[in-house]
Amino acid sequence: MEIWRKAANPWGQEVLIGISWDLMWLAIAASVAFVVGHIVWIRTRGVDEADREPAAAPAGVPRRVLRHTLPARLFHWVMAAAMLVLLVTAFAPVMGFRFPWVTVHWIAGVVLTASVAFHVVHAIGWQDFWAMMRIDVAEGVATLRHILRKDAPPPPPDGKYPFDHRLYHHVIVVVGMGVIVTGLLMMVRIDTPFWARNPYLLSDAAWGVVYVVHGLCGVSLIFLTAAHIYFALRPEKLWITWSMIRGWIDREHYVRHFDPERWPPVPAPDEASSPEPTGALADAVPQERR
């Protein structure tokens, strides 16, 4: 298996031209292996007893707790759409699907870049930025111990963002910034409404490094995106996915998974006007597996 591809430039120098496409297939295989392995692990491990016993709700917790504001949700879905378009237009041609992908690819890249720029400003100015950036080693060790041993006590209730969410966020930030920066540089080589192409901005050797970094980040996003979609669709995680659609989580899930001291509950905007669900309406609210 090769890691990158090389070719001779017009002056006879051997330069990098990108990653080996073997890495694309490796990322796809790793994604499939991870999903299958996790399903087997879950079936072997079973359901934790701690997940079966709901805690009593403390006073003052609303029936619907706001988790994601409308701007945050719009950012997430715009970014998700742009990311999927980028992955399809980047790797589908390698698999033999021929279509005019370059224009669609760079437009999706601009949308991704703009959405991330908006998110950075919004997170710093209007959200609890450090709640996501915080790293707690002791919490990480407790989480890992509970994953490896079912009899190990679960980590204590967290703030708004659990440890595994924050860890994934940090990885996606590094990979995402790598693909964005190199992608913007590569746009200089094509004609766009913003500028005329300039393939001589960097040397051939420097362009080769840009291509390789862009490709490595791209194949990493295959695995990261597949894992994210998989967990979003798992039955016991659907309540988190629903919160990214409607903006709130119910009281039961809040009490079960979060510490009010670390994430004080804020009522959802429609909390005051929404009566307690009963009958068929209550049954229709997604609930965690018991």
Contacts 24+ apart (CB under 8 A), 131-140: 131/159, 131/160, 131/161, 131/263, 132/160, 132/161, 132/165, 132/166, 132/169, 133/166, 133/170, 134/159, 134/166, 135/166, 135/170, 136/163, 139/163, 140/167
Record the pTM.
Answer: 0.85
> Which tens digits make up the pLDDT trace of 18-27?
999 999 999 9
Quote the pLDDT of residue 105: 96
Greater confidence, 265 or 131? 265
Cβ contacts of 209 within 8 Å, gap of 6 or more: 16
Kindly report the CATH number that applies to the domain delimited by 4-61+71-237.
1.20.950
* Beta-ladder partners of 7: 15
- Select from 10, 16, 4, 6 the least CA-distant residue to 219: 4
What does pLDDT average to over the chain? Answer: 86
Instruction: Measure the CA–CA gap between 73 and 66, rounded to whole angstroms.
Output: 12
The DSSP output letter for 129 is H
Tell me the domain boundaries of the chain.
Answer: 4-61+71-237
Measured CA distances, 128 to 134, 164, 171, 253 (Å)? 11, 18, 19, 21
> Which tens digits make up the pLDDT trace of 98-136?
888 999 999 999 999 999 999 999 999 888 777 787 778
Average pLDDT of the residues in 163-180:
94
